[in-house]
A and B are shown apart, each in its own frame.
Chain A
Amino acid sequence: ETGVTQSPTHLIKTRGQQVTLRCSSQSGHNTVSWYQQALGQGPQFIFQYYREEENGRGNFPPRFSGLQFPNYSSELNVNALELDDSALYLCASRPGGVGFGYGYTFGSGTRLTVV
């Protein structure tokens, strides 16, 4: 098992720019969720993908969008970056077809700073 890997680890962007964050889910995991974690806070759910379809979304504006690819890797895209988008972005994966209580495997995250 290789776990969940995210790239890049750190990123600095200017307000108004666009950013793409990438995630390779753990082998065999076809469900991927993205979270935003501000400093000192718990992770906040952005959205989830299952078999390349978005099947759940949290309270984030449409400028947050995503993709999941046939190999179950995933991207998070954020347009028109705002200063408040500065946070740790976490990707988490789990297998499909298991009980819901099966915990997610998280990556180490991408630290995004918007200046």
Chain B
Amino acid sequence: EDQVTQSPEALRLQEGESSSLNCSYTVSGLRGLFWYRQDPGKGPEFLFTLYSAGEEKEKERLKATLTKKESFLHITAPKPEDSATYLCAVQAETSYDKVIFGPGTSLSVIP
């Protein structure tokens, strides 16, 4: 069964303290892996799509990487406005529609 897990469940960082969020996935052939950011009371906001192992994408202080079993979201020198829940999701090669989300990591960045 296709599955996505994320760790840690919650992460608390001081402003400027870099760290990484983990996404582990099991899927019967990966079509793509997505990262989204979700603020309280809002819908998820698209960040990145990764397609194959070894691929990396960057956006401001965020960098996403992909291996055959995991993806990491690295946050460099975070700011309080980076506080949000970060969701990882996968789409299988056999699926043209269904995206499977993980439970998310809740990030808090303290000034």
Which residue of chain A has its CB nearest to the CB of B43?
A106
| B34:A56 contact, CB within 8 angstroms | no
* A3 shortest CB reach to chain B, Å: 9
* Bound: A48/B98 CA distance, A: 8
Instruction: Contacts A56-B95, A108-B41, A108-B42 given; indicate if A43 touches B101 (C-beta within 8 A).
Output: yes
- Cβ contacts under 8 Å, A43 to chain B: 44, 87, 101
| A42:B91 contact, CB within 8 angstroms | no
* Bound: A107/B95 CA distance, A: 23
* Bound: A82/B31 CA distance, A: 34
* B24 shortest CB reach to chain A, Å: 14
- Cβ contacts under 8 Å, A33 to chain B: 97, 99
Q: Which of A14-22, A67-75, A96-104 contacts B (4 or more CB under 8 A)?
A: A96-104
Query: Is A55's beta carbon under 8 Å from chain B?
Result: yes
Total B residues in contact with A, Cβ cutoff 8 Å: 27
Q: Which of A33, A42, A55 has the most CB of B within 10 A?
A: A42
Total A residues in contact with B, Cβ cutoff 8 Å: 25
User: B79-111 CB contact bits vs A (8 Å, 1 = yes)?
Assistant: 000000001010100011111111110000000
Instruction: Contacts A42-B4, A42-B89 given; indicate if A105 touches B46 (C-beta within 8 A).
Output: yes
Which residue of chain B has its CB nearest to the CB of A49?
B97
- Cβ contacts under 8 Å, B4 to chain A: 42
* Bound: A90/B43 CA distance, A: 7
- Cβ contacts under 8 Å, B49 to chain A: 101-103
16 pairs across A/B with beta carbons < 8 Å? A41-B104, A42-B101, A42-B102, A42-B104, A43-B44, A43-B87, A44-B101, A45-B97, A45-B100, A56-B96, A92-B43, A101-B51, A103-B36, A104-B46, A104-B99, A106-B36
- Known pairs A41-B103, A43-B44; list 14 more (Cβ under 8 Å): A4-B43, A35-B101, A42-B102, A43-B87, A43-B101, A45-B98, A90-B44, A100-B32, A101-B51, A103-B49, A104-B44, A106-B45, A108-B42, A108-B43
Shortest beta-carbon contacts, A-B, top 7:
A56-B97, A103-B46, A106-B43, A42-B101, A101-B49, A48-B97, A45-B98
